[in-house]
Chain A
Amino acid sequence: MDLVYIAHIGVILFTFFMLLNSAAVLVLMERKVAAFLQQRLGPNRTGPWGTLQPVADILKLLFKEELRPLAADRWLFALAPILSVTAAFSAFAVVPWGGTTTLFGLLPEPVPLRVADVNVGILVLFAITSMGIYGIVLAGWSSNSKYSLLGGLRSSAQMISYELSYGLALGAVLLLGNSLSLTDIVNQQSGYWFGVIPRWFIFIQPLGFVIYMIAGIAETNRAPFDFPEAEQELVAGYHTEYSSFRFALFFLAEYVNMVTVSAVATTLFLGGWHGPFLPEWLGWLWWLAKLFALLFFYIWMRWTLPRYRYDQLMHFGWKVLLPVAVINLLLTAAAVLYWG
C-alpha cells in the first residue's frame, strides 16, 4: 500500500471528522451569534467562552431516554434519522475543500483535498440532497403523530417548490463551467479579470447566487423557511416524537446540510479555495473563510426574520423564483453561445 493511497484515505477520514466537528462549531456559533444579536451573553459556563457547549449539548442528548411512541412504525421510525444524516454526510463527498497537498513534500505526488472528484458531481449532489427529504417525510409519517405528519407534509410541499429553482440556478453555473465536476468548476474560477476582480462566478451569476441561497435555506429547513419544524406552530414538526440520539441525528443532519449547501455555494459561486493574498497550498483557509461567512449569513437570517407561511413559499417558489431562474438560465445559455 503506497503513501498516496493512505493519504487519500486520510483525507476522506479527515473530511468526515471535520464535518462532524463543523456541526459542533456551528452549534456554538449559532448560540453565540444569536446571543449577540439578542443582546445576551450566550453560553459562557462551559469552558472558556462557552466553547465546550456543543459537548455538553451532545452529552445531554445522549443521556436522554430513547422514546418511541407505541403507535409509531417501528422500522421507519428508526430509519428516518439515519436516512437524514446519511444523505447530509454523503452529499459532501463531491465537494472539494482545497487544492492539492504533498504534506510538505512527504508524498511523492500531490493529493487533492476532497473525498471524490466525480465527473458528474453536480448530479450526484442533487440526487443525494434530495434523498434527505425522505428522512423528514418518513419521520413525519412514521411517528404517527398529527404534528409530525403536518411537518412531513410541509417538507414535501416545500421541496417541490424550491428544488426546481435550485436546480436551474446550478444549471446556469454548469453552463458557464462547461463541466459537471465541482473540481473543474472551481479551477475555472482561478485568476482575475482586469487583474483585480477574482474570476468568481458570483460576479457573472449574481442572480443565480441569490436564487441558490434562497433555495438553499429552504433546502436546509432553516428560518425563514423552517416550516417542517416550525416550533411555534407544529410544536417541533417532524421530530416532535424523537428524543435522545435519534433527535441528535436530525439535529446533526440539519447542521451538516447547512455546511454542505454553503460549501457548494462557495465552490460554485465564490471560487472555492481560490482567493488573493494566500499561496495555493493555503487555499483551504479561503475556503473556510467563505464557508463561515455564508454560515453566518444563515444564522443572521434565522434570528432576524419572521417565518414565511408554507403556502406563501410555494407561491414564491413557483411564481417568482422559478421564472427568474428560467430567465437566468436562458440568458446564461445565450451568453455562453454568443461569446463561447
Chain B
Amino acid sequence: MGQIRTETMTVNMGPQHPSTHGVLRLVLELDGENVVSASTTIGYLHTGIEKTAEQKKWQQVIPLVERMDYLSAQSNSLAFVTSVEKLLGLDLPDRVKWIRVLLAELQRINSHLVWLGTHVMDLGAVSVMLYCFRERELLLNINEMIAGFRMFPSYIRVGGLREDLPAEFHETVRAFLDRMPEKLADYERLLTKNQIFRKRTHGVGYISKEDAVAWGLVGPIARSSGVQYDVRRAFPYLVYDKIDFEVPVRTEGDVYARYLLRLVEMRESLKICRQALDRITPRGEWAVDDPRITPPPKDKVYTEMEALIQHFLIYSQGFTVPAGEAAVPIEGPRGEQAFYVVSDGSNRPWRVKSRGPSFFACQAMPTYLIGALIADVVAIIGSTDIVLGDVDR
C-alpha cells in the first residue's frame, strides 16, 4: 500500500469559543487532534484603559484600572495606588495597611475561586463551578458591604481607603473565613483524587523552570514550575513582612501542579486574612492625615471655611503628584503585577502602563500547547488563568 497523503488542519479556536476565557483567539494547526503549532491573537478586548487614564485625575484612574483584570479588581487598584503613593511619598497608617492586606487576600481567594470553577468546567465537571461561585458570592457580598459595588468596589484609594469599615464587617469576614476551609476540602474531595481529573491534568501542559523564567512567567504558573518567586516574600510591601505565611512551590510544572498550588495558596490566603482581621480594629484611621489628599470630614466642611475650600479643591481639580516615575510590584492572584506610573507634576498621570501577568502567560501559550490534544488545550488555557481584560487592557 502506498503512502497515504495526510495534511494538517488549521482550526480557529476563538475569539468566540466556550473555553478561551474571554476573547482569546488561538489558531491551531492540528494533525488529527494533536496540536502541531499554535499562535495566539490578542486584542479583541482592547479597551484603551491605559490611554484613557491619562485624561483622568489620579483618584479617577482607580475605577479604570480595576476593570483591566476584572477578576482581581482590588489587586489592580492596590498596585496602582501603591505606585502613586510612592511618588507622593505617603506613609500610611498601620490600620490601612492591614485592611489592604485583608482585601488583597480576599481578592486572591475570589479570583482563585473563579479560576477553579471555570478551569474545572472546561474539563467537564460543571457542578464545581457553581460550588465555587456560591462561595465567591460571599466575597462579593463583602465588597458590596464596604463599597456598594460587588465587582469593582474602588474602595482602595490613593492615600488610604474610601471610608471606614462598615459595621458588622468583622463578623461577615469572620463567617466567611470559618466557612471556607470546609468548602475547600469539599472541592478537593471532588477533584484532587478523582482519577479522571488526574488523568486529564497530570503531565499536561508542562513548562520547565528555565522556560518559565525565559518567558517572564510569574505567579502560580512560575511557582508550580519551581521558580521561587513571590513578591510578598521577595519585596515585602504593606505589612507582609510581619505576617506568617508559606509560599507554596511545586516542581512538576503541569496543569495538576498548578491546580494543587492554587488550592494551597487559597489556604495560605485564609491564614493571612485571619491574622489581618485580628489586627484590624473596628474603628480607626482609614486614610493618611494629609489635607492635600484626604478630604476633610463632612462636619468640618459645613462649619469651617478652610475645610470647605479644601473639600472643593480635592473634588474639583484633585491633587497633584510630584514629577517622577514609579512602579511598585505587588503579588496579584495571577502573579507579579505593577503599574508604571509617570507624573509630570500635574493633577493627571502622564502615563500609566500596566505590567499584567496574564499577558506573559498568554505569550508563552505556544510553548505548552504544542504536542497537546485539543482536550488538553482547554485544560491548559484554564490552568494559566489568563484574564483577557488584563492581556488587552
| Distance of A260 Cα from B18 Cα, bound (Å) | 31
Complex partner residue of A306 from B9, B32, B123, B373, CB under 8 angstroms: B123
Binds B, one of A33-41, A49-57, A101-109, A282-290: A33-41
With CB as the reference atom, state the residue of chain A lying closest to B120. Answer: A306
Asked if B114 is an interface residue, CB under 8 A from chain A, the answer is no
B196 adjacent to A310 (CB under 8 Å): no
Asked if B279 is an interface residue, CB under 8 A from chain A, the answer is no
| Distance of A146 Cα from B32 Cα, bound (Å) | 11
A307 adjacent to B123 (CB under 8 Å): yes
Known contacts A234-B374, A304-B190, A307-B200; is-contact A223 B124 (Cβ 8 Å): yes
| Distance of A146 Cα from B11 Cα, bound (Å) | 7
User: How many whole Å from A36's CB to the nearest CB in chain B?
Assistant: 10
A303 adjacent to B126 (CB under 8 Å): yes
Asked if B376 is an interface residue, CB under 8 A from chain A, the answer is yes
Known contacts A39-B130, A306-B124; is-contact A233 B377 (Cβ 8 Å): yes
B127 adjacent to A306 (CB under 8 Å): no
A308 adjacent to B131 (CB under 8 Å): no
Asked if B19 is an interface residue, CB under 8 A from chain A, the answer is yes
Residues of A close to B11: CB separation below 8 A:
146-147, 150
| Distance of A235 Cα from B199 Cα, bound (Å) | 22
Asked if B263 is an interface residue, CB under 8 A from chain A, the answer is no
| Distance of A153 Cα from B11 Cα, bound (Å) | 15
Complex partner residue of B196 from A227, A230, A307, A311, CB under 8 angstroms: A307
Asked if B45 is an interface residue, CB under 8 A from chain A, the answer is no
Asked if A319 is an interface residue, CB under 8 A from chain B, the answer is no
Q: Mark A230-273, 1 if CB is under 8 A from B, else 0.
A: 11111100000000000000000000000000000000000000
A144-175 with Cβ < 8 A to chain B: 146-147, 150, 153-154
B375 adjacent to A233 (CB under 8 Å): yes
B180-238 with Cβ < 8 A to chain A: 190-191, 194, 196-197, 199-200
B18 adjacent to A37 (CB under 8 Å): no
| Distance of A230 Cα from B19 Cα, bound (Å) | 11
Known contacts A39-B130, A40-B130, A310-B33; is-contact A305 B18 (Cβ 8 Å): no
Complex partner residue of A310 from B127, B190, B375, CB under 8 angstroms: B375
User: How many whole Å from B381's CB to the nearest CB in chain A?
Assistant: 10
A306 adjacent to B194 (CB under 8 Å): yes
User: How many whole Å from A117's CB to the nearest CB in chain B?
Assistant: 40
B33 adjacent to A150 (CB under 8 Å): yes
A309 adjacent to B127 (CB under 8 Å): no
A309 adjacent to B199 (CB under 8 Å): yes
| Distance of A233 Cα from B376 Cα, bound (Å) | 9
B196 adjacent to A306 (CB under 8 Å): yes
With CB as the reference atom, state the residue of chain B lying closest to A37. Answer: B127
Residues of B close to A311: CB separation below 8 A:
33, 373
B127 adjacent to A38 (CB under 8 Å): yes
User: How many whole Å from B260's CB to the nearest CB in chain A?
Assistant: 16
| Distance of A230 Cα from B123 Cα, bound (Å) | 9
Determine chain B's interface SS by DSSP, over half rule. Answer: helix
Residues of A close to B194: CB separation below 8 A:
305-306
B121 adjacent to A309 (CB under 8 Å): no
B124 adjacent to A224 (CB under 8 Å): yes
A308 adjacent to B125 (CB under 8 Å): no
Asked if B300 is an interface residue, CB under 8 A from chain A, the answer is no
Asked if B378 is an interface residue, CB under 8 A from chain A, the answer is yes
| Distance of A312 Cα from B199 Cα, bound (Å) | 8
Residues of B close to A305: CB separation below 8 A:
124-125, 194, 196
B349-383 with Cβ < 8 A to chain A: 373-378
Known contacts A305-B196, A306-B200; is-contact A230 B124 (Cβ 8 Å): yes
Known contacts A233-B374, A311-B373; is-contact A306 B18 (Cβ 8 Å): no
Complex partner residue of A307 from B32, B130, B131, B375, CB under 8 angstroms: B375
With CB as the reference atom, state the residue of chain A lying closest to B191. Answer: A306
| Distance of A300 Cα from B233 Cα, bound (Å) | 44
User: How many whole Å from A255's CB to the nearest CB in chain B?
Assistant: 18
A299-332 with Cβ < 8 A to chain B: 303-312
With CB as the reference atom, state the residue of chain B lying closest to A236. Answer: B18
Residues of A close to B33: CB separation below 8 A:
150, 153-154, 310-311
Residues of B close to A235: CB separation below 8 A:
17-18
Known contacts A146-B11, A306-B200, A309-B375; is-contact A232 B19 (Cβ 8 Å): yes
Q: Mark A121-152, 1 if CB is under 8 A from B, else 0.
A: 00000000000000000000000001100100
Residues of B close to A34: CB separation below 8 A:
126-127
Complex partner residue of B18 from A154, A232, A310, CB under 8 angstroms: A232
With CB as the reference atom, state the residue of chain A lying closest to B33. Answer: A150
Asked if B331 is an interface residue, CB under 8 A from chain A, the answer is no
User: How many whole Å from B127's CB to the nearest CB in chain A?
Assistant: 5
| Distance of A146 Cα from B30 Cα, bound (Å) | 11
Asked if B51 is an interface residue, CB under 8 A from chain A, the answer is no
Known contacts A224-B124, A233-B19, A306-B196; is-contact A38 B375 (Cβ 8 Å): no
User: How many whole Å from A33's CB to the nearest CB in chain B?
Assistant: 11
User: How many whole Å from A137's CB to the nearest CB in chain B?
Assistant: 16
| Distance of A38 Cα from B190 Cα, bound (Å) | 13
| Distance of A304 Cα from B190 Cα, bound (Å) | 8
Complex partner residue of A232 from B127, B130, B131, B378, CB under 8 angstroms: B378
Residues of A close to B123: CB separation below 8 A:
232, 306-307
| Distance of A34 Cα from B130 Cα, bound (Å) | 11
| Distance of A34 Cα from B197 Cα, bound (Å) | 20
With CB as the reference atom, state the residue of chain B lying closest to A231. Answer: B18
A304 adjacent to B127 (CB under 8 Å): yes
Q: Mark B113-145, 1 if CB is under 8 A from A, else 0.
A: 000000011111111001100100000000000
| Distance of A75 Cα from B355 Cα, bound (Å) | 54
Residues of B close to A223: CB separation below 8 A:
124
With CB as the reference atom, state the residue of chain B lying closest to A307. Answer: B124
Residues of B close to A37: CB separation below 8 A:
127
User: How many whole Å from B329's CB to the nearest CB in chain A?
Assistant: 34
User: How many whole Å from B386's CB to the nearest CB in chain A?
Assistant: 16
Interface centre among B32, B126, B127, B374 (most CB of A within 10 A): B126
A309 adjacent to B18 (CB under 8 Å): no
A interface with B by C-beta (< 8 Å)? 34, 37-40, 146-147, 150, 153-154, 223-224, 226-227, 230-235, 303-312
- Give 28 A-B contacts (CB < 8 Å), ordered by A residue: A34-B126, A38-B126, A38-B131, A39-B134, A146-B11, A150-B11, A150-B33, A153-B33, A154-B33, A224-B124, A232-B18, A233-B19, A233-B377, A234-B374, A235-B17, A303-B127, A304-B127, A304-B190, A305-B124, A306-B120, A306-B125, A306-B194, A307-B124, A307-B125, A309-B199, A309-B373, A309-B376, A312-B200
